[in-house]
Amino acid sequence: MIFTKLYDRVLLWAEHRYAVRYLGALSFAESSFFPIPPDVMLAPMVLAQPQRAWRYALVTTLASTLGGVAGYLLGYFGFGLLQPWLVELGYADKLQQAMEWFDLWGIWVVLLAGFSPIPYKLFTISAGVLVMNLPLFILASAVGRGARFYLVAGAVRWGGPRMEPLLRQYVEQIGWLLVLLVGVTYLIVR
């Protein structure tokens, strides 16, 4: 019942008076170094206050894009210091793959990574290492991340209160499905 407990905790955070700040901090951190995606907090917050769905999606998008810029700057200025840490964490192969994708698809890979379950932070750091055009990087990040977070917020708002019992009933299956999707994505990327 790992995901059920996490879901219940996040629902409590979603009602906290600083929930928007927590959402922004989580969104920022996930784009440059933190492993937990902001969707896990965004969805329950929209469920708790559907009239604020678009505001929450905007906060998530802006903070995530700014976090992406932080990842870019980490790659640009600190890759030499960051590389041993990434190797130790097992991200070396993934980072190399991300750089190869940049060579093939350029800015489009940032847009795709921003929308998909692929670890976005690897692409933000890679973009900095490869000195990608920063304004284009920011634009692609904002579009990719925005599309994802507005889609999540819209789906949860549309589903509304009738979605909560279904979400609660299937949260374990959804959580493990996401873990499986990330694992499969990893194997494909690798």
Query: Which pLDDT tens digit goes with each residue over 18-58?
Result: 999 999 998 999 888 776 788 878 888 898 889 999 999 99
**Taking the CB of residue 99, how many other CB atoms lie within 10 A of it?**
18
Query: Minimal CA–CA distance to 186: which of 67, 21, 178, 70?
Result: 178
Residue 183 pLDDT more than 70? no
How many C-beta atoms surround the C-beta of residue 43 within 10 A? 24
User: What pLDDT was estimated at residue 92?
Assistant: 78
How confident is the model at residue 159, as a pLDDT?
A: 85
List the one residue out of 61, 59, 56 whose CA is nearest residue 46. Answer: 56
Q: Give the dihedral of Cα atoms 18, 31, 66, 136; nearest 10 deg.
A: -150
List the domain range (segments joined by +) for residue 32: 2-189
Q: Which residues contact 63 (CB under 8 A, 6 or more apart)?
A: 23, 24, 25, 27, 28, 38
> Do 46 and 158 form a contact (C-beta atoms < 8 A)?
no
* Residues shown for the chain: 190
* Domains: count for the chain: 1
Report the distance separating Cα 127 and Cα 110, nearest Å. 8
Per-residue confidence (pLDDT) for residue 181, from 0 to 100: 65
79-129 pLDDT, tens digit each:
878 778 777 877 778 778 777 877 788 888 888 888 876 778 888 888 898
Q: What are phi and psi of 161, to 5 degrees?
A: -60, -30
